[in-house]
Structure 1
Amino acid sequence: MTLPLLVPDLPAPEVLMPYLQRMHAARQYSNFGPLVCEFETGLNARFSARSPVSLGLTTVANATLGLELALTALDLPPHSRVLVPALTFVATATAVLRAGHLPVLADVDAQSWLLTPEIARQAVAQGAVDAVLPVATFGAPHAMAGWHEFEQDTGIPVVIDAAAAFGSQWLDAPTGTAVFSLHATKCLPAGEGGFVVSSRPGLIARVRQLTNFGINLNPAAGVPVGMLVRIGTNAKMSEYHAAVGLASLDRWDERAALRRSMHADLRARLDAAATPALLRWQEMAEPVAAPTLLCVRLPSAQDRERLERVCAERHIMVRRWYQPLLNAMPALEKHSTCLPAPAAVKIATDLCGLPFYLGMAGGDAERVAEAVRAALGAKGAAPLVGSEGQHSA
């Protein structure tokens, strides 16, 4: 039986039913309905509790549109240069292009795998940068104090692509903007969706307007209600997705704790299996609150290829996450500027994603560990003691 790479963890139909019944009773299924507003209120309460300043928040149909509209709401001149890491999902770059701007592909830190303020300052010194779009890679959070100082020193706006970082990435500095994903594979799933949260004055109101085609809905705005004031799109979250999001939020803390426990257990198994070879893990100041992926650097490119062969033979799915790098994507080549990215290139030579998901039994975890043991040649390493299925969910 094939061991999958990941399995979505969405609320069961019976858990959704009370929210769906409320939606049906209200007879409103989109256009900023009561469930969407309740969901936004619950999310904003979590972020506001960790922020020193007032925040705004709005939902979107998905995080890719959230990135595009957040960049649009910055009102940058057309064809502005937006700094993004070369090591990220393609949507980070395509959102920049669809907002009418040009990606500038930069390196990442060798240990954290993140585009840092220090790297951004170096890029600014080398040429024009009009905005920065760092990524919370694999859910690893950014320290917002550093980005606040960067914005204050340079005047360049920063938007964090925090797609996989709900519960980990906070706006705990005087300035900050972030976009989160609610895709089915994320730790707070709505099936599909996202949200934008920001301390930047007016940005959330502009994003919300852009999600509704750019139409004015504010009677006090000085223009007629229904007037098109911005060129937007239809990026509103539906009440159906808000229902799933609310049910997921109800149980998020419990599921997050389980994810952390399972992730730590599997990581320990792999470290033991790899002995005497060393696995290299992403370094971060704060751990991911609710991991959804398990990504590790193998000792060498040859070790990764050997592990991939072993896993294929044993029907275990693996993936080279975020590869090829953005600076190796022909579709982006004519539309981007590529800065030197030696750290990202090195990471890409041996980075491997292994199975991890809620519902993974102890036997599944040991199956992955045995594959690592076989690939890295650690003969006779003792497996971690753990009861079969102790982490099944």
Structure 2
Amino acid sequence: MLLVSEPILGAEEKLALASVIDSGWITMGDRVREFEQAFARLHGAEDSVAVSSCTAALHLILHALGIGPGDEVLVPSLTFVATANSVLYVGARPVFVDIASPDVPLMSLDDAEARCSSRTKAVILVHFAGYLPEREKWQSFARRKRLLLIEDAAHAPGQPAAGTFGEAAAFSFYGNKNMTTAEGGAIIARDPLLRETIRRARSHGMTSGTRQRLDSRTPDYDVTILGFNYRMDELRAALGLVQLRRLQEWNDIRRRLSLHYRRLIVNHCSSVTVPFADEWPSAYHLMPAVLPAETSRQAVIDSLRGRGIQTTVHYPPVHRLTFYNQICQRCHLPQTEEFARRELTLPLHPRMSLVDVEFVIEALAAALSAKAAMEAVA
């Protein structure tokens, strides 16, 4: 099966894990700190905070910024549910915003403006599929509305502009991301005071960690703020240090595969559209395609699976999921709903070759042609 996503793990990762085990120190320590510094350097930041997941990262950012009950946060519905969940974690209310269009499936600036209220305190921009929103326009909007600007950059590690939009950015290293630590995440916050609050809150609000107390030879610590258990461990940090060294190379492979997809879709599947212009800044996390309106997506999925090709959908709209539909019953986002009905995510990862891309497009063209032939007969 040609998978939608596949991590690259090998001898270097095994050696890195073995080294941690041999060291006898597996909780948060020197490797976590080294990983934080390396990740920050890659993004031109002073420092970063490594955490247990991107969800934890979003929660910590909102918590540290003081967002809570009575506040509203603008979020896209075209995202993984964790984006909205993190808002509920701090007691605030997520307000779902439509995408701009099927060609630009990022949060609509106009719809965001329309959904602002006196209770709106922040906006979470999601870099869907690795593609970044227009930074200057969103920064201007946030200044004008006096909103805190947060990035859900789960899809965009290694993209130079990720982490430069506003107060903070949350990154993911889950198993299907551009680089992986199995589970894990990181936060870039440019304000040192905000970053220190986040760093302390990730570990129960404690003033020192286990390794720090060992090195300083004193068991004393204090708890100064409400905190959580969102630490990254040494094993995941060791994986991250190995993966980070190849992230730019892997992102470039993703870029070349994406461009090849685009060329072939134009030539062989002209009824299919691909979001975003070729030059749009991206980390090329996903390869989303939009099927013709009348096409049965499930028939195409089944046809490709029969050829050994996995596909998936990014994403079922959050506001349509059972839990959120119960609390957002009158929410209607026509652009998001139409995009989600027709979107199909094709395989994209650095283990693939250009020949693999050609095989996927040949199979997609055959699936679409078979459907057209059946409709013609009918």
Cα shift at 1:336: 4.5
- Structure 1 CA distance, aligned partners of 2:64 and 2:163? 22
Task: Please name the residue that 1:241 is paired with.
Answer: 236
Q: How does 1:227-306 map to 2 (within 5 A)?
A: 227-275=222-270, 277-283=271-277, 286-289=280-283, 291-302=284-295, 304-306=297-299
Give the equivalent residue in structure 2 for 1:13: 11
Q: Distance in 2 between matches of 1:128 and 1:284?
A: 38
Q: Rate the CA distance shift 1:41–1:19 in 2: closer, same or farther, 3 A.
A: farther
CA RMSD of aligned residues (A): 2.7
AA in 1 matched with 2:297: R
Deviation of the 1:138 alpha carbon? 0.9
Maintained 8 Å contact 1:307/1:371: no
Alpha carbons of structure 1 residues 57 and 119: separation in structure 2 relative to 1, 3 Å: farther
Give the conservation status (yes or no) of the 8 Å contact 2:106–2:127: yes
Please name the residue that 1:391 is paired with. none
Cα gap change, 1:157/1:336 in structure 2, threshold over 3 Å: closer, same or farther? farther
Residue aligning to 2:198 = 207
Aligned with 2:73: secondary structure? strand
Select 1:311's aligned residue among 304, 312, 328: 304
Percent identity between matched residues is 27
Encode CA deviations 1:178-226: one digit per residue, 9 max, x unaligned: 100011211121222110111245221111111101222399xxxx962
Aligned amino acid, residue 365 of structure 1: V
AA of the residue aligned to 2:261? L
Which shows bigger deviation, 306-315 or 35-44?
Answer: 306-315
Q: Does 1:39 align with 2:35?
A: yes
Of 200, 213, 226, the match for 2:221 = 226
1:337 to 1:93, Cα distance in 2 relative to 1, 3 A: farther
Pick closer, same or farther for the CA change 1:8–1:179 going to 2, 3 Å: same
The 5 A counterparts of 1:68-87 are 68-87=59-78
Letter in 1 for 2:342: D
Q: CA deviation at 1:310?
A: 2.0
Equivalent residue, structure 2, for 1:353: 345
TM-aligned CA deviation for residue 377 of structure 1: 2.2
Specify the SS of the correspondent of 2:295. helix
Compared with structure 1, are the counterparts of its residues 36 and 297 closer, same or farther at alpha carbon in structure 2 (3 Å cutoff)? same
Structural mapping, 1:316-327, within 5 Å: 316-323=309-316, 325-327=317-319
| Structure-2-length-normalised TM-score | 0.86
**Alpha carbons 1:102, 1:335 under 8 Å: kept:** no
1:303 deviates by 5.0
Describe how 1:147-158 pairs up with structure 2 within 5 A.
147-158=138-149
**C-alpha spacing 1:127/1:152, structure 2 compared with 1 (3 Å):** closer
**Hey, what does 2:49 align to over in structure 1?**
58
Matching residue's letter, 1:288: S
Contact 1:69 1:207 in 2 (8 A): yes
Cα offset for 1:361?
4.2
Q: CA deviation at 1:357?
A: 2.2
Q: 1:26 to 1:375 in 2, by over 3 A?
A: closer
Give the aligned partner of residue 385 of structure 1: none
Note the alpha carbon deviations across 1:259-311, whole angstroms, 9 max, x for none.
22222223322332214x2423234763323x232111112142534422422
Distance 1:77 1:89, change over 3 A: closer
User: Which residue of structure 2 aligns with residue 388 of structure 1?
Assistant: none
Q: CA deviation at 1:142?
A: 2.5
Aligned length: 362
Matches of 2:183 and 2:95, distance apart in 1: 28
CA contact (8 A) 2:97 2:108 kept: no
**Cα deviation code 1:368-387 (max 9, x no counterpart):** 212221233299xxxxxxxx
Confirm or deny: 8 A CA contact 1:103 1:336 kept in the other structure.
no
Determine the C-alpha separation between the residues in 1 that align with 2:302 and 2:247. Answer: 36
What amino acid does structure 1 have at the position aligned with 2:172? Answer: S
The 2-side partners of 1:38 and 1:312 are apart by 42
**Residue matched to 1:123:** 115
The equivalent of 1:30 in structure 2 is 27
Distance, in Å, in 2 between the alignment partners of 1:146 and 1:340 is 25
CA distance in 2, matches of 1:363, 1:254: 19
Matches within 5 A, 1:329-344: 329-336=321-328, 339-344=331-336
Unaligned stretches of 5+ in structure 2? 213-218, 372-378
Shift of 1:230: 2.2
Cα distance change on mapping 1:116 and 1:300 into 2, 3 Å: closer
**377 and 161 in structure 1: CA distance in 2 versus 1, 3 angstrom threshold:** same
Give the SS at the match of 1:208.
helix
C-alpha distance in 1 between matches for 2:71 and 2:355: 51
Q: What per-residue deviation string (whole Å, max 9, x for no partner) do you get for residues 76-123 of structure 1?
A: 232421111011111111111122221111111103211144432222
Q: Is the 8 A contact 1:185 1:292 kept in 2?
A: no
Residues 352/146 of structure 1: CA separation in 2 closer, same or farther (3 Å cut): same
**Contact persistence 2:76–2:96 (CA under 8 A):** yes
In the alignment, the residues of structure 2 paired with residue 151 and residue 195 of structure 1 have an alpha-carbon distance, to the nearest angstrom, of 23
